Amino acid sequence: MLRGVTTISLFADDVTAARNWYAELLGVEAYFVRPIEGPPAYVEFRIGDYQHELGIIDSRYAPHGRPDQAGGAVVYWHVDDLQGSFDRLLSLGATVHEKPNERGPGFVTASVVDPFGNILGVMYNEHYLGVLRSRTGR
């Protein structure tokens, strides 16, 4: 049975550029880099309330090669300020995949394509906040 997200993996042709872009976006540096010497083939960040892992893998290791356009699963990360987060992503060079869209009371989503061809979703999610409050009291 699924218990929770452990690692989300994205792909990039230039892992160093992707690491720098995501470090700017997230406000933290990658804590894990392989290889240690030379250009990285994989980097990993710990982010969010539960320190989930966001990995960036060199596109050469993508399971089915690199698609010509963004695709695959869209992973949505909860944000407290959806419009502000969406605007910040665009200011950092991402492009619109889907503009902010209210899905129902307390659920608003948006997504962008990062400069490396990955779709990144953001969501304001009342359910997430309720679960967080029930577990942490915040």
pLDDT in tens, 84-99: 999 999 999 999 999 9
Question: What backbone phi and psi angles, to 5 degrees, belong to 7?
Answer: -135, 135
Annotated domain spans of the chain:
1-59, 71-138
- CA-closest candidate to residue 80, choices 52, 111, 108, 45: 108
Q: Pick 90 or 137 by higher pLDDT.
A: 90
Do the domains at 1-59 and 71-138 have one common CATH topology? yes
CATH code at 71-138 = 3.10.180.10
For 1-59, CATH number out of 3.20.130.10, 3.40.630.30, 3.90.1570.10, 3.10.180.10 equals 3.10.180.10
Q: Could you tell me whether strands 107-113 and 119-125 are parallel, antiparallel, or unpaired per DSSP bridges?
A: antiparallel
Provide the 8-state DSSP code for 105. Answer: T
Residue 15 has pLDDT above 90, yes or no: yes
> Global pTM?
0.78
Distance CA(25)–CA(32), nearest Å, equals 17
pLDDT digits (tens, 9 = 90+) for 49-90: 888 899 999 988 876 654 555 556 678 898 999 999 999 999
- CA-closest candidate to residue 116, choices 77, 71, 75: 71
* pLDDT for the residue numbered 20: 98
